Chain A
Amino acid sequence: MSADLSGALFWKEQNLLVVSDLHLEKGSSFAARGVLLPPYDTVATLSRLASVVARLDPKIVIALGDSFHDRSAHERLSSPDREAIVALQARRDWIWISGNHDPALPSDLGGTVASEVAIGEIVFRHEPTGAAGEIAGHLHPKARVATRARWLERRCFASDGERAVMPAFGAYTGGLSIRDEAFAKIFRKPGFMAHVLGDNRLHTIAASRCY
């Protein structure tokens, strides 16, 4: 299983692609509360996802929860964005894992809705529990690294080899520091790693050395 620079996870043997926390329609969700963010986040997120899918051509795609920013977000999808999702789903199995932001996904979105998926020893679910063999999202890990020139803050995968938390894929998704207690609870032992998304490659840095 390999972490992709885009923030997706690719399991070659299973031809399986996982993306987490797309938070589609986060812009319009804020707009409804009076913060008029640019309404282009969904198209930005979907076009990034489309390029990953085109590059790796997976047989199965798992959207690991919080694919939509709120319960009614899917109703606000524009027709072109809706069509883009349909196009992504063509010729492959598509699984929407439900998350805390989108606990009840409708069936007209295409694909299958599930609360979790197990393939062999591996379990895919939205909120991490700390179980071995678990791939989760929810926390939006990011790492700040002190380099000799400046601080660099990037999204990252968090993993100890037994379990992993994926970075958020959405265009407007912020991050939670990998040093937050939430990660300590999942990994328990301090020796977990941040796989930091650089510009052109991933960098593996001990979480204890990030901020």
Chain B
Amino acid sequence: MLVPANRFEVLECAVAIDAVSENAQDTPPLRTGALDVLAQHVLGCACGKPFLSEQLYDEVRTAAPYAELSRVDFDDVVDFVATGGYALKTYERFARIKQDKNGCWRVTNPKVRQSYRLNVGTIVEEPMLKVRLVRSRAGGSGSTGAIARGGRLLGEIEEYFIEGLSAGDTFVFGGEVVRYEVLAEDQVYVSRANDSDPKVPSYMGGKFPLSTYLAERVRKLLADKRAWKGLPDQVREWLSLQAHFSRVPEARELVVETFPRGNKHYLVCYPFEGRLAHQTLGMLLTRRLERLRARPLGFVANEYALAIWGLGDASFMIRQGKLDLNALFDPDMLGDDLEAWLAESALMKRMFRTCALISGLIARRFTDEEKTRRQVLFSTDLIYDVLHKHQADHVLLRAARADAAAGLLDLRRLGDMLTRIKGRITHRELDRVSPLAVPVMLEIGREAVYGEASDELLAEAAEELVREATG
């Protein structure tokens, strides 16, 4: 059974049914084995019984994802497990595994085994916050006044969801409607509320890219007006509204819309290349927009579209000739821009955090002292900065880059798309969000841009607070 949750999903369901009747396959390509996972495996093997490098290397390569693993990469991983794999050889005496006189790698002390057992596994959780129930504070404005400590623990929620809330917003949690009162460190304080329209928490785990190839079929369906006849009335109406207010993308063209909403300016485009390629495009476009002083703040991608928002008025910039869409979407973004972006991106930091946890560089659970996940997140960012600056080819940075390139960037599809749409960009300047843009604007999984806009945002927050205090 297929249950579309919005109009766009009706299109997706329609083409999925067609694809099934044609026996078309939607199988993702096999991934290359990740080096962080290998590191955990190598340590795990050593915790079991001592191993010889040659034998383990041969054994690992019998697994299909590691069939092409080079000996150099394998040895780097073993070196990483032993002493961290640093160019500066200062940690020999802290080695976790050591070679005995027969060349067998052995665990150096039982604590290594204990720590391995506490941390084994390759699923890394999103940063979470604890939700505590307190009594409502009249007229609570989010962060003023003393925080009432304590309160009954209701459970944990992804930080990502709370970040999108303002004080006073209500959401459903643990079967109750609660009001978001205030946040302190890793605790979210909420009170009971009585709201008929609370928000429903969304989870990052829910945004797994489900389909890779349906998007192209959806694009063809949109471009073929005769095929709309088979669609439900609401969906046809929606597409007609889009054709009236903006434009329905044709098979080979890229439609770009710009419009203001709230106190931000949006740029939405419809490449139909899947979420991963769109995310990469989002990263690269925001970088270029930043350089053009359009002050982008973030972006969100779904299977069909990409929405970027910022402080600069893109419509105005295009009118003034300060923003050229053909130059903005030029395929040369996949060169230096890509490399430079990756080096400093929040996404790479997040990938690095995952690699650091899976590979065992950082423990998730400690034998002696407990560290909160929030502290772990903060410290992996610091470690990333230092490591990137002092040993950019470190095996964990290579692992993070490979994960990003294979899992999150989808460079091949993005490259094909940029070549396809060259000279076929249609821009529509709108005074409000278009019908086609609505689904992507409601999407979860927003990416923030970490650039010069940070200072501007802080300055703005500071000024706003001063105004509040004096006004």
> Which residues of chain A are near B452, meaning CB under 8 Å?
199-200
B408 part of interface (Cβ distance < 8 Å): no
Known contacts A171-B382, A210-B143: A39-B461 contact under CB 8 Å: no
| A110 beta carbon closer than 8 Å to chain B | no
Tell me the residues in window 107-134 of chain A with beta carbons closer than 8 Å to chain B beta carbons.
none
CB distance from A31 to the nearest CB of B (A): 4
Known: A36-B361, A38-B387. A199 touches B90 (CB 8 A): no
B340–chain A nearest beta-carbon distance, Å:
16
Q: Mark B376-395, 1 if CB is under 8 A from A, else 0.
A: 00110011011101110010
Q: Are A39 and B91 in contact (CB under 8 A)?
A: yes
Residue on B with the closest CB to A177?
B185
A186 to chain B, nearest CB (A): 15
- The answer to whether A44 has its CB under 8 Å from any CB of chain B is yes
Complex interface: chain B residues within 8 A of A88 (CB): none
Residues of B close to A204: CB separation below 8 A: 462
Indicate if B83 sits at the interface (CB-CB under 8 A).
Answer: yes
| Interface flag for A102 (CB, 8 Å) | no
Q: Mask for A183-211, Cβ within 8 A of B = 1, else 0? A: 01000001000001011110111101111
In the complex, the answer to whether B390 meets A34 with C-beta atoms within 8 Å is: no
- Min distance, Cβ B367 to any Cβ of chain A, angstroms: 9
Contact A203 B386, beta carbon cutoff 8 Å: no
**Which residue, of A40, A41, A43, has the highest number of chain B Cβ atoms within 10 A?**
A40
Which residues of chain A are within 8 angstroms of B318 by Cβ–Cβ distance? none
Instruction: Choose one: A32, A40, A201; the contact of B387 (CB below 8 Å).
Output: A40
Chain A residues contacting B382 (CB-CB under 8 Å) are 171-174
| Closest B residue by C-beta to A196 | B458
Bound Cα distance from A44 to B389, whole angstroms: 9
Bound Cα distance from A39 to B298, whole angstroms:
34
Contact across chains for B84 and A36 when beta carbons are under 8 A apart? yes
Q: Is A151's beta carbon under 8 Å from chain B?
A: yes
A35 to B112, CA, bound (A): 10
Asked whether, in the complex, the Cβ of A38 is within 8 Å of the Cβ of B378, the reply is: no
Q: How far is the CA of A153 from the CA of B86 in the complex (A)?
A: 29
Q: Are A147's CB and B458's CB within 8 A? A: yes
Q: Is the CB of B390 within 8 A of A179?
A: no
B contact residues, total (Cβ < 8 Å): 54
Docked complex Cα distance between A133 and B143 (Å): 28
Query: Is there contact, CB below 8 Å, between A179 and B460?
Result: no
Interface string of B348-379 (1 = CB under 8 A from A): 00000000000001110000100000010011
Total interface residues in chain A, CB < 8 Å: 49
Let me know if B453 and A203 touch, CB within 8 A: no
Would you call the interface of chain A mostly helix, strand, loop, or mixed?
loop
**Per-residue 0/1 for B453-464: is the Cβ within 8 Å of any A Cβ (1 yes, 0 no)?**
111011111100
Produce 1/0 per residue, A135-162, CB < 8 A to B.
Answer: 0000000000111111111100000000
Q: With A and B bound together, what is the CA distance between A200 and B453 in angstroms?
A: 11
CB-CB < 8 A to B379: which residues of A?
172, 174
Per-residue interface assignment for chain B, residues 120 to 151, with 1 indicating a CB less than 8 Å from any chain A CB and 0 otherwise: 00000000000000000000001111110000
Residues from chain B with a CB closer than 8 A to the CB of A153 are 378
CB distance from A41 to the nearest CB of B (A): 6
CB distance from B265 to the nearest CB of A (A): 12
**A149: which of B183, B297, B387 is its contact (CB, 8 Å)?**
B297
Report the minimal beta-carbon distance from A182 to chain B, rounded to whole angstroms. 12
Q: Mark A90-118, 1 if CB is under 8 A from B, else 0.
A: 00000000000000000000000000000
Q: Decide if B448 touches A149 in the complex (CB within 8 Å).
A: yes
Q: How far is the CA of A38 from the CA of B89 in the complex (A)?
A: 11
Nearest residue, chain A, Cβ from B89? A39
Inter-chain contact B461/A36, CB cutoff 8 Å = no
Bound Cα distance from A36 to B144, whole angstroms: 41
Whole-angstrom distance between the alpha carbons of A147 and B460 in the complex? 8
Q: Which residues of B contact A34 (CB under 8 A)?
A: 94, 96, 111-112, 115
Q: Is there a chain B Cβ closer than 8 Å to A78's Cβ?
A: yes
Interface: B469 (CB within 8 A): yes
In the complex, what residue of chain B is closest to A47 when comparing beta carbons? B389
Taking the nearest CB of chain A, how far is it from the CB of B262, in angstroms?
Answer: 9
Chain A residues within 8 Å of B, Cβ to Cβ: 28, 31-41, 43-44, 76, 78, 145-154, 171-175, 177, 179-180, 184, 190, 196, 198-201, 203-206, 208-211
Known: A35-B361, A43-B390, A177-B185. 12 other contacts (CB 8 A): A36-B91, A39-B90, A146-B142, A147-B457, A147-B460, A148-B461, A151-B163, A173-B382, A196-B458, A199-B454, A201-B459, A203-B461
In the A-B complex, the 7 residue pairs with the smallest Cβ-Cβ separation, listed nearest first, are A36-B84, A147-B457, A40-B390, A149-B297, A203-B458, A198-B455, A38-B387
25 CB contacts below 8 A, A to B, read: A40-B88, A40-B387, A40-B391, A44-B389, A44-B390, A145-B461, A146-B461, A148-B264, A151-B163, A152-B454, A152-B457, A153-B378, A172-B382, A174-B375, A174-B379, A198-B454, A198-B459, A200-B452, A203-B455, A204-B462, A206-B465, A206-B469, A209-B143, A209-B461, A210-B143
